[in-house]
Amino acid sequence: MQPQLAEAGAELNQAPATVGAHSAGLKLLKKGVPGAFIVQVAGAGFGLVTHFVVARLIGQAEYGIFALALSWISVLSVVAQMGQDVSVVRFLPGYCLRGEWGKARGLRLGVGTLVFCASILIGLVGCLVVYGQHAKHETAWSLTFYIAFATMPVLTQLQQSGALHRAFKRAVSSGIYVNVVRPAVFFVLLGCMALAAREALNAAGAMLASALAALIALVVSAWHLSRIWPAPSRKVKPEYELRTWTHVGAHLSLLSIVMVAGNRLDVLVLGALTGTAQVGAYYAAAQIAGFALYGLQATNVVLAPLIAERFDADDLRGLQLIARRAARLGFVGAVLASLFFVVAGRWVLGLFGADFVSAYVPMLVLLLAYCIVTAMGEVGFMLSMTKYQKHATFFILIGIALNCVSSYFLVPMLGALGAAVGSALSIIAWRFLALRFVIQNLGVNPAIIGRIVTTRPRK
């Protein structure tokens, strides 16, 4: 009861302007989170159904190749972003607030071009690596990775478009094209290809459908963005702050890379140590367990720009209120999702195929870990949206190191279960360390329980 009273007292002691900012932030959080959550869940539902279909159509072995290729381009597309998708969210709200429309337009054009060129370069390097390895693999394996790497420019621009929607605090449109439109189109294309194909589909065919779906989602997202872009910024001369964007982006890039690498490391290590046989079932289990994070991710869509806004305004009390409210929403979502999959997880995994049920226990391990980390609150954005990007990277690197060491010893003995345990230990460890740092140095406790700080720590 005391934390709630402290929160209420904190609100009453604010100046009218600050209280108004608090109310606006909480109102935006309350209004935006349900829509973002619906988008996340709907997208996850579409994605899960499409993965069911893919696994059934191409078989577990081919599905393992498909999942491994998706994991690689997910990591490398973040490398190509160079942190600029996060920079957009960090800088664009301030430019719009101050009416710096030339900088807003320059941010969109400059960052988009930079990321596009980087994605082409990385995609070409990836294709060269596949070419050098093609003798060790079947043609379908090589073709799947060729298509995947060719998709990278489309994926990075789709992510950029979503970041721009997010910077405008549009919770629904920021994720609907990636999370709903893309998997829905993928499902339709996959069905058409299956009906038209004379032979059974393979991983390469599924990857081609995925690439076309991403392209269609990008076209629709870009059209929507052109409709909502502020009129004052349409015809002004673009102004570029490349040094500022690249400087901040460099820190955010490393942070984004290690975060995605950490999230995909279990799949990559499992594939490296055991081959693709177990990857398919474990990847399906990880996809299902990911439902527990959708509540947190939905709140983050709204929370990230609010963190930057409240921190720039030196409003720690407002930041505390918003962060804890977001954490509680995310935790409730994680618990509900986990309870559902504890009961129905075997059945859901069985939809992929009978062999996929073996990943039920690894799925439970991941669900437990996700409930624990959502209870800690969103510590990642509390660091990256303020001034502690380097520290966030450091904590995640600790988690990755722990994941590598534990997986190296556990995967050979336990297989997919070892990968899940390694992933769970790493994410809990780095987020706990980050939570302590946020409380001590930022003066905010984003966890669902614990002492409310709301005072500027001593420098």
Domain count, the chain: 1
Q: Does the residue 394 lie in any domain?
A: yes
Q: Does the residue 126 lie in any domain?
A: yes
Q: Nearest to residue 214, comparing CAs of 262, 157, 270? A: 157
Tens digit of each residue's pLDDT (9 = 90 or more) over 298-312: 676 666 666 666 676
Q: Does the residue 458 lie in any domain?
A: no
Report whether 32 contacts 169 (CB < 8 A): yes
pLDDT at 7 over 60: no
* pTM for this model (two decimals): 0.61
Q: Does the residue 449 lie in any domain?
A: no
Q: Nearest to residue 72, comparing CAs of 145, 132, 142? A: 145
Report whether 94 contacts 127 (CB < 8 A): no
Q: Nearest to residue 226, comparing CAs of 168, 306, 153? A: 168
Q: Where residue 226 falls among pLDDT bands split at 50, 70, 90?
A: confident
**Residue-level pLDDT at 206:** 87
Tens digit of each residue's pLDDT (9 = 90 or more) over 334-380: 899 899 999 998 998 888 777 788 889 999 999 999 999 889 887 87
**Residue-level pLDDT at 33:** 53
Domain extent at residue 119: 2-442
- Please give the Cα distance from 332 to 330 (Å, whole number): 6
Tens digit of each residue's pLDDT (9 = 90 or more) over 181-204: 888 888 888 888 878 766 667 888
pLDDT at 315 over 60: yes
Q: Does the residue 456 lie in any domain?
A: no
Report whether 419 contacts 282 (CB < 8 A): yes
**Residue-level pLDDT at 371:** 92
Q: Does the residue 309 lie in any domain?
A: yes
Tens digit of each residue's pLDDT (9 = 90 or more) over 27-55: 555 554 555 566 666 666 776 777 777 88
**Residue-level pLDDT at 9:** 39
What is the phi/psi pair of residue 452, to 5°?
-85, 130
**Residue-level pLDDT at 234:** 80
pLDDT at 418 over 80: yes
**Residue-level pLDDT at 6:** 39
Q: Does the residue 396 lie in any domain?
A: yes
Q: Does the residue 451 lie in any domain?
A: no
Report whether 446 contacts 379 (CB < 8 A): yes
Query: At which residue do the structure tokens 């398919």 appear?
Result: 280
Quickly count: other Cβ atoms within 10 Å of residue 77's Cβ. 25
- Please give the Cα distance from 77 to 123 (Å, whole number): 9
Query: How would you class 16 by CB atoms within 10 Å of its CB: exposed for 0-12, middle for 13-18, buried for 19 or more?
Result: exposed
- Please give the Cα distance from 38 to 440 (Å, whole number): 35
Tens digit of each residue's pLDDT (9 = 90 or more) over 213-224: 999 999 998 898
Which two three-digit tokens encode residue 346?
């075997």
Q: Nearest to residue 36, comparing CAs of 325, 395, 414, 330? A: 330
Q: Where residue 231 falls among pLDDT bands split at 50, 70, 90?
A: confident
Q: HEC string of 73-97? A: HHHHHHHHHCCHHHHHHHHHHHHHH
- Please give the Cα distance from 84 to 106 (Å, whole number): 13
Continuous H helices in 239-359: 242-274, 279-289, 294-312, 316-352
